[in-house]
Amino acid sequence: MAILPEFVVYLGLVIGWVFLGIATPAQAVAGFGSTSWISILAILAISAALAASGLVYRLGLLLIRRLPEGMFAQGAACLVSGLGLTLMVPSSTARARLMLPAALTAAQSERFKDRSPESAFLGLAAFFGASPLLYIFLNGSSSNFLGLGLIPEASRARFDLAFWFIAAAPLAVFVSVASLGVLWLILRPGKPEAMSPQRIDLQLSLLGPLSAREIAMAVILAAMVIGFNVGPSLGISTGIVGLASLVASALIGCFNRQSLQSLNWDFLISYGVILSLPAIISSLGIDAMIANALGGLIGDAKISALVFVLSIAVLNLGVRLVLPDDQTLLLLSIILIPLAPVFGVHPWVVVITLLATFTLWLLPSQTASYAVAYEASEGRLFTHLQARKACIGFIAVTLIGLVAVFPYWRWLKLIRLAP
């Protein structure tokens, strides 16, 4: 357990910067006035409002009710459903808490034995979609915003919700398909029996038809996603779009003072401080010093951009054995982002590589979302050994995926051709 709350540490940084003359008060808290900070506040609030409206729970039940026939197709449906929740619920632990009980209900409906290959296939497929593929959407995790906030402002300007998805989706899709295949090979599930839908039908009947609040929240969510992508071209800040969506949620009764207090303020405060960090580092010349030092160290050695990216992934895997995910992301981003231009790599590629390889569950306590997933499944879907084998397979296909998408990132001009 941490000695001090996270927000105390980050506010202490702000005080230290000012008293040591590293930054002015305005520079030290500039991140809290940025569009990025306002947008993440709104996204977290909308997530809470969606949960309060009951819409997310209803969608989970509808998923189970409409699972296709065939074991592989059902696993794919669980994985895709987890990815779909990523667009609405920006917390991998929350998604795991929603998806794993749904997968458990599906396994019980088909009378699978606890921790059988079939149960494990459904459970781990649902976990894959809910957690380690969090980078597919910018609003899929606070970690995505953390990484984006560490990129220099000029470099992150093009990464709205749409372009982030365009750049990240091929890697996530490749890893999704390949990891599902690896999971199938590892577990070798058999043929499922016909599902009994009566339990799900009962729960849906108790919910009744869509309520006015659920319909209103669906409209607000759609409007916010459209506004985030269309607003900037019309001169409307994404921050304003987010705040308008938050106000609308409050007006229909899905967000109140208690909801506001329940937001992750530890993260919001730390994120505001982190958004101030790149400009301070640049003003001190630290990024240029690191890049120049590395250039002198490398000299005439020819290290390709691909080798650099794969080295980041391997380094991240090693550091994650001793540090938590966001701390690893913060540490390695600060060190590696200034080096990216030396290898012709856009800073975003550094961030997405770290995000794609930092969700590990080789140890049960290594990632919070895995611990939540195992708890939410009551330990009845898979064993830790089955999950560990799946994690090794996931790491392997992610490394292959980084190689596979490299030409695509070069086409997007995120990789510069060697001179």
Instruction: State CA 21 to chain mean position distance.
Output: 35
145: closest CA among 56, 242, 226? 242
Decide if pLDDT at 284 tops 60.
Answer: yes
Distance, CA of 396 to CA of 69 (rounded, Å):
29
Find the DSSP H helices in 231-378: 238-251, 257-262, 265-284, 286-298, 305-319, 325-336, 347-357, 368-376
Please tell me the total number of residues recorded for the chain in this structure: 419
Q: How many CA atoms lie within 13 A of 205 on its CB side?
A: 6
Cβ atoms 303, 343 nearer than 8 A:
yes
* Residue 336 vs residues 107, 148, 280, 307, 328: alpha-carbon distances, Å: 43, 14, 16, 14, 12
225 lies in a domain?
yes
Decide if pLDDT at 419 tops 50.
Answer: no
Q: What are phi and psi of 400, to 5 degrees?
A: -65, -40
Average pLDDT (268-276) is: 79
92-111 pLDDT, tens per residue? 877 887 788 778 877 877 78
230-268 pLDDT, tens per residue? 776 677 877 888 889 899 999 998 888 888 888 878 878
Cβ atoms 7, 265 nearer than 8 A:
yes
Cβ atoms 415, 305 nearer than 8 A:
yes
342-371 pLDDT, tens per residue? 888 999 999 999 999 999 999 887 787 888
- 122's torsion region: left (phi>0), alpha (psi -120 to 50) or beta? alpha
Angle CA(348)–CA(292)–CA(410) in degrees, nearest 5?
30
140 lies in a domain?
yes
Domain residues for the domain of 305 are 6-411
Question: How many domains, the chain?
Answer: 1
pLDDT at 404: 96
141 lies in a domain?
yes
Decide if pLDDT at 228 tops 80.
Answer: no
287 lies in a domain?
yes
Distance, CA of 112 to CA of 107 (rounded, Å):
5
* Residue 75 vs residues 82, 106, 185: alpha-carbon distances, Å: 11, 11, 13
416 lies in a domain?
no
128-170 pLDDT, tens per residue? 999 999 999 988 887 898 898 889 888 888 888 889 999 999 9
Distance, CA of 79 to CA of 69 (rounded, Å):
15
419 lies in a domain?
no
Cβ atoms 399, 125 nearer than 8 A:
no
Q: Which of 10-19, 59-68, 129-138 has the lowest mean pLDDT?
A: 59-68
Decide if pLDDT at 6 tops 80.
Answer: no
More confident residue, 48 or 12: 12
186 lies in a domain?
yes
Amino acid letter at 377? S
1 lies in a domain?
no
pLDDT at 192: 67
206-218 pLDDT, tens per residue? 777 888 888 998 8
Distance, CA of 401 to CA of 137 (rounded, Å):
17
Distance, CA of 145 to CA of 135 (rounded, Å):
10
Distance, CA of 419 to CA of 305 (rounded, Å):
12
* Residue 144 vs residues 39, 92, 104, 354, 411: alpha-carbon distances, Å: 13, 11, 29, 10, 23
Decide if pLDDT at 58 tops 60.
Answer: yes
